[in-house]
Structures are given as C-alpha cells and as structure tokens.
Amino acid sequence: MLTKPRLHFDVHPGAGPPVLMVHGIMAGRALWAANIDALKTVSTPVVVELFGHGRSPAPTDVGAYSPDAYVAQFEAIREELGAKKWFVIGQSLGAALTLRYVLDHGDRVIAHVFTNSVSAAADAQWRARIVATVEDAARALEEGGLAAISESRMNPVRARSFHPHVRAGLIADQSLLSPVGLAATMRHTVPNSSMRDQVSQNQRPCLLVAGEREKAFAEPLAHIKALMANLTVVQLPVGHSPNAEAPEAFDTAVTAFFRAHLETAHVTSVAPIGQ
C-alpha cells in the first residue's frame, strides 16, 4: 500500500467491473463528464485526477511525477478497490500512462481503451524537442501562475469543440490546477512518457478511438496500427479528444468493446469497492 501523497479518485457505481479513467494534462475529472452515464451501463467508472490537477495534491517530491510512479499509484487504487481485474481508459498524456500500466500489469487488465496521445508513441525527434523546450514551459507556468495556465495552448478549455458539459466543468475547475504541479508534470512526466518501443509487447485487447483530424497524431497512429498486437482502431472525424468532442460515438464504441470482452473474460459483476 502506498503512503501519501495519493491520487484523488471518484467512484461512480455502475453495472460492471471498475474502469480506471485517466485524463491528460491541464484537464481533470470533468474531461469525462459526457461519458460517465454511458460507461456506468457496463462498468464502474473510477475517475482519477493526476498530481497537480483537480483534487489531487501537487507533491514537492519530483519522483511522484514519474510514469512508473503513476503506474504504482494506479495499481494501489486497484488493490484498494478489491478488484482482481479492471478496464482501463486513458486520454492524451493519461493514455501514455495507462498504456504503461497495461504493459506492466496486463494480468490485471480486462481490456484497454485509449485516445490520441502523441506522447504515448513519440519518436526520438519529438522527445528531443520536448526536452529542449520543457524547462522554459515549466518556468512560465511557475512564474505566471493561473494566468499562464489560462493562456496556455495546451489548456483544454480552449477547445470550442468539446461537449458543453465537459467544457463547463473544466472551466469551473481551472482554479484547482496547480502551477507547481503542472510544471513538475512538464518536466518529469511528459518527456518520459513514450512507450513507442514497447507497443509491440501488448498482450491485452486494446481499442484506440482516434481523432483523425489531429495532424500531429498521424505518425504515432500509423506506428501503433502497424506494430501493436490485439488492437482495434475506430477513427472519428474529430481532433485530439474524441471522448469530449464526439461523446456519443466514443461511448458507443467503448461500451460495445467492453461488453464483448466481459463475455470472453467471464467477468460480469462489480468488484467489491473498499473491501
């Protein structure tokens, strides 16, 4: 069992096993606001907020922000819930982290869903650019505070294509974002999050719901499609965040995928929460 700091998570009781849900940078639990009700019909959503985001703390220990430390946090949540196996969903940076979890703890995963994530399959050139620019970006967040977060090109509240409930929730939670925590995420999570060289090792059923309009994701998408085993791809005519831009289509694809793998895994009941 992990000691503090611990990630904040909310459990939404539903009609199936837990599903870990992990958002991307500068988002939070509101990112899933348009998906929870549909997912509750086949699973029990467990919505995590990353360090420095929402209701999670912003640790001063930089080790807490490493991708491997996040994997340990996710596994501790599964143990706390008493779930032998669960579903996993990741979005953007969260997808890079859930992919790492699935590759490390595949025996604990029924199936995995993820969306566009350049960082998850970033090549050496992309990683070099990030390393070269991350310090300036992190310092700008630390020095500029909430104003710098609001003006950041990475801030998802700038996405006018999001479902209104998602965007409203993200706007309401802006004051909960920690400049220090986001800076640490920029320095210690993002540059180390790529699983490009490991995707061929995947052994679990995976569904990639890809927004085909994001040009930056075209090469990572091609790489994943070419090398990742046990992969199903659904492409939607949206951008970076399919779950927030086209929630109905996303939910339809994910619930069908979950139902199919509940049958093959012979898992039908909700795990005992908190026992």
Give all domains of the chain, ordered by start, each with its CATH number.
Answer: 9-265 (3.40.50.1820)
269 pLDDT more than 50: no
Write the pLDDT tens digit of every residue in 4-41.
899 999 999 999 999 999 999 999 999 999 999 999 99
Separation between Cα atoms, residue 22 and residue 182, nearest integer Å: 16
d(CA 229, CA 176): 38
Q: What is the pTM of this model?
A: 0.95
Instruction: Quickly list DSSP for 196-220.
Output: TTTGGG--S-EEEEEETT-GGGHHH
The answer on pLDDT for 272 being more than 80 is: no
Phi, psi angle pair for 113, to nearest 5°: -120, 135
pLDDT digits (tens, 9 = 90+) for 29-86: 999 999 999 999 999 999 999 999 999 999 999 999 999 999 999 999 999 999 999 9
- Using the predicted structure, report yes or no on whether residue 271 has a pLDDT greater than 50: no
